[in-house]
């Protein structure tokens, strides 16, 4: 009854089934559930998840943060890792200025502009340390990355200065350092935070317009801001999962 | 001497081995030793970035266990206690007195801290700007008794105001020295983190 051909088919199907099962097992062996069952904690969540809060309602535009950042990080003259923009919203349009990044504070706006102003405020800017950072995606050599604690950093030994990341950043926070000839950006003062200090700009801000902390610590100021849920991020349409939460952010801000 | 009829095969195998060994060697040299192939970055760069020297110490580097809160420099200790009472107590010392790295190096004083008594320093924060929050104190010739004394913006602020406690007028300064030392610590309240 059994012909050699039908027997071969049965053997083939059995082998196919076994092979599929083996491949399926191979694919799920690193699944979180499997990892939990087998005690494999290789993908354990990091201890820290840092975030930054900028409170526009508190910023007085004194420029201390910009000066502190430039001193702390030896940023070349004329370049900025953080800066302050002044927005003056008038019926005829929006006027934005940032003389020397707001480093030396601001002079009063023209009297005519001040009279016309419907609304005016300062907006501090810095790297948003995006969870889905476009700059990391475009780096061709892996010189920029997001550390397990949430810092988007540049490996200065590895960067080739191609400036793809400068173009990819929707927030314009990256630049090519004139002196080092490589990509440069805000690090949230990684070197300070790793020693238990706050970023330089947060340390010097006289009005607590800048906050920094760990979202995993429910008592931290940033965790409370996130819980209060009245924050916004810059350019939410870019889907960068920005980790800089802005308070009092108006839609006119770009 | 007979040449093997398969010599062309052997030559090809030798060439292949050279190419494979060469590729593996070059690849090994090109990829950094601490490369994380899963997250695509050099793990050593994290440690390298931590080595960057700090220039700003924060207020804890001035007070606390540091120089300006020790008995042996009683004058400093008194001054720091005075700062802790004033309305400027939440500020960073380095905002006005310059970064720590310019003042102290290897736990030794290398230069005096900056003492800037110019109006420009005060007006950096307190000049009247339409963009500042309305509840933030800004210089106004009409307000705070300035109108009474005909105070113009060119008059030195520190003639009347104590820089550490600007709500206190300089005329009352002698009285403050007789007050007992305050224990309130001045700290930056912007949040605490430990990596």
Evaluate whether residue A61 is within a structural domain. yes
* A116 is a domain residue: yes
Is A165 a member of any domain? yes
Closest CA to B61 of B26, B101, B88, B22: B101
- A144, A179: one domain: yes
Do residues A101 and A219 both lie within one domain?
A: yes
Q: Are residues A94 and A8 in the same domain?
A: no
The answer to whether residue B147 neighbours chain A at the CB level (below 8 Å) is no
| A30 — pLDDT class (breaks 50, 70, 90) | low
Q: Which residues of chain B make contact with A216, given a CB cutoff of 8 A?
A: none
How much is the average pLDDT of A54-81?
97
Residues A98 and B126: their CA atoms lie apart, in Å, by: 18
Report the percentage of chain B scoring pLDDT > 70. 85
Same domain assignment for residues A23 and A116: no
> What predicted TM-score, i.e. pTM, was given to this entire model?
0.82
pLDDT of residue A44: 64
Contact B129 A108 (CB under 8 A): yes
Q: What are the start-end ranges of the H helices in A29-173? A: 32-38, 64-72, 111-116, 134-138, 164-168
Alpha helices, H only, chain A: 4-28, 32-38, 64-72, 111-116, 134-138, 164-168, 190-193, 200-204, 221-228
Query: pLDDT tens for residues A194-210?
Result: 999 999 999 999 999 99
pLDDT (0 to 100) of residue B181: 39
For chain A, give the percent of residues with pLDDT over 70. 91
Confidence of residue A192 (pLDDT cuts 50, 70, 90): very high
Find the residue in A nearest to B194 (Cα): A196
Range of the domain at A200: 50-130+187-247
Q: Do residue B41 and residue A61 have CB atoms under 8 angstroms apart?
A: no
Q: Which of B52, B92, B125 sits opposite A203 (nearest CB)?
A: B92
* Residue A45 in domain: no
Chain B residues touching A156 at Cβ < 8 A: 45, 48
What's the pLDDT tens digit per position in B95-120? 999 999 999 998 888 998 899 999 99
Give residue A100's Cα distance to chain centre: 23
Distance from CA of B34 to the nearest CA of A (A): 12
Mean pLDDT of B48-63: 92
CATH of the domain at A153: 3.30.70.20
Mean pLDDT calculated for residue range A156-173: 96
Residue A253: inside a domain, yes or no? no
> A206 and A103, same structural domain?
yes
Minimal CA–CA distance to A163: which of A143, A186, A188? A143
Q: How far apart are the C-alpha atoms of A44 and A41, rounded to whole Å?
A: 5
Binary contact (B193, A114; C-beta < 8 A): no
Half-sphere exposure of A19 (CA within 13 A, CB side): 6
Cβ burial, residue B62 (10 Å; 0-12/13-18/19+): buried
Residue A151 lies in a domain: yes
The residue written with tokens 């800066």 in the block is A83
Residue B169, Cβ neighbours under 10 Å: how many? 13
- What's the whole-number mean pLDDT along residues A120-145? 97
- A149 with A24, same domain: the answer is no
Cross-chain Cβ contact A106/B190 below 8 Å: no
* Pair of tokens at residue A195: 């020693």
Q: Residue A233 above 90 pLDDT?
A: yes
Decide if A252 is inside a domain.
no
DSSP annotation string for A145-190:
EE-TTS-EEE-TTT-----HHHHH-TT---EE-TTT-SEE---SSH
Which tokens go with A109? 């706006």
Question: What is the band of B84 on the pLDDT scale with cuts at 50, 70, 90?
Answer: confident
Tell me, yes or no, whether A114 and A211 share the same domain: yes
Residue B176 — very low, low, confident or very high, per pLDDT cuts 50/70/90?
A: very low
* Whether the Cβ atoms of residue B93 and residue B59 lie closer than 8 Å to each other: yes
> Between A177 and B150, whose confidence is greater?
A177
Q: Are residues A69 and A114 in the same domain?
A: yes
For chain A, say whether B191 makes contact (Cβ under 8 Å).
yes
Ramachandran angles phi, psi of B16, nearest 5°: -60, -45
Residues 75-94 of B with CB under 8 A from A: 90-92, 94
By the CB < 8 Å criterion, does B115 face chain A? no
Print the SS3 string covering chain B.
CCCCCCHHHHHHHHHHHHHHHHHHHHHHHHCCCCEECCCCEECHHHHHHHCCCCCCCCHHHCCCCCHHHCHHHHHHHHHHHHHCCCCCCCCCHHHHHCCHHHCEECCEECCCCCCCCCHHHHHHHHCCCCCCCCCCCCCCCCCCCCCCCCCCCCCCHHHCECCCCCCCEHHHHHHHHHCCCCCCCCCCCCCCCCC
- Rounded distance between C-alpha atoms, residue A39 and residue B108, angstroms: 51
Same domain, A96 and A119: yes
State pLDDT tens for residues B112-166: 889 999 999 999 999 999 999 999 999 999 887 898 888 999 999 999 998 988 8
Instruction: Say yes or no for a CB contact (<8 Å) between A157 and B48.
Output: yes
Q: Model ipTM?
A: 0.80
pLDDT at position B183:
39
**Contact assessment for residue A39 and residue A32, using Cβ atoms and an 8 Å cutoff:** no
Whether A170 and A225 share a structural domain: no
Separation in Å, CA of B28 to nearest CA in chain A? 15
What's the mean pLDDT in A164-170?
A: 97
Q: Looking at the structure, do residues A72 and A114 belong to the same domain, yes or no? A: yes
| Number of domains making up chain A | 3
CB A181 within 8 A of CB A161: yes
For A39-65, write each residue's pLDDT tens digit: 555 556 788 999 999 999 999 999 999
Asked if A109 and A15 sit in the same domain, the reply is no
């Amino acid at each position: 009854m059994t012909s050699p051909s039908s027997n071969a088919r049965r053997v083939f199907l059995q082998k196919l089934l076994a092979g599929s099962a083996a491949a399926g097992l191979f694919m799920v062996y690193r699944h979180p559930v499997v990892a939990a069952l087998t005690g494999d904690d290789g993908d354990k969540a990091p201890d820290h998840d840092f975030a930054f809060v900028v409170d526009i309602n508190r910023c007085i535009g004194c420029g201390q943060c910009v000066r502190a950042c430039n001193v702390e990080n030896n940023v070349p003259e004329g370049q900025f890792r953080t800066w302050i923009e002044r927005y003056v919203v008038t019926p005829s349009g929006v006027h934005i200025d940032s003389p020397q990044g707001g480093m030396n504070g601001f002079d009063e706006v023209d009297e005519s502009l001040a009279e016309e102003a419907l609304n005016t405020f300062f907006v501090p800017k810095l790297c948003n340390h995006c969870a889905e950072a476009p700059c990391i995606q475009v780096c061709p050599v892996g010189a920029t990355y997001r550390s397990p604690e949430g810092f988007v950093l540049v490996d200065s030994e590895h960067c080739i200065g191609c400036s793809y990341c400068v173009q990819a950043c929707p927030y314009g926070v990256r630049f090519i350092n004139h002196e080092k000839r490589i990509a440069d950006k805000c690090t949230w003062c990684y070197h300070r935070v790793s020693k238990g200090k706050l970023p330089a700009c947060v340390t010097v801000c006289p009005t607590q317009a800048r906050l920094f902390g760990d979202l995993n610590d429910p008592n931290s100021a940033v965790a409370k801001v996130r819980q209060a849920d009245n924050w916004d991020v810059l350019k939410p349409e870019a889907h960068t999962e920005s980790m800089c939460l802005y308070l009092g952010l108006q839609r006119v801000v770009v | 001497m007979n040449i093997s009829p398969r010599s062309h095969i052997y030559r090809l195998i030798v060439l292949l081995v050279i190419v494979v060994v060469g590729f593996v060697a070059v690849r090994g040299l090109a990829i950094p030793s601490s490369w994380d192939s899963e997250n695509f970055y050099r793990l050593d760069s994290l440690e390298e970035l931590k080595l960057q020297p700090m220039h700003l110490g924060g207020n804890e580097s001035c007070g606390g266990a540091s120089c300006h809160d020790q008995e042996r420099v009683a004058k400093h200790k008194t001054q720091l206690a005075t700062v802790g009472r004033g309305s400027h107590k939440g500020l960073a010392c380095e905002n006005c007195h310059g970064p720590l790295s310019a003042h102290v190096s290897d736990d030794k004083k290398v230069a005096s801290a900056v003492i800037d008594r110019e109006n420009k320093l005060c007006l950096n924060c307190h000049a009247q700007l339409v963009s500042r929050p309305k509840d933030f104190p800004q210089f106004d010739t009409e307000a705070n008794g300035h109108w009474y004394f005909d105070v113009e913006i060119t008059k030195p602020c520190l003639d009347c105001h104590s820089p550490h406690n600007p709500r206190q007028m300089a005329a009352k300064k002698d009285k403050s020295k007789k007050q007992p030392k305050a224990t309130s610590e001045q700290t930056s309240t912007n949040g605490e983190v430990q990596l």
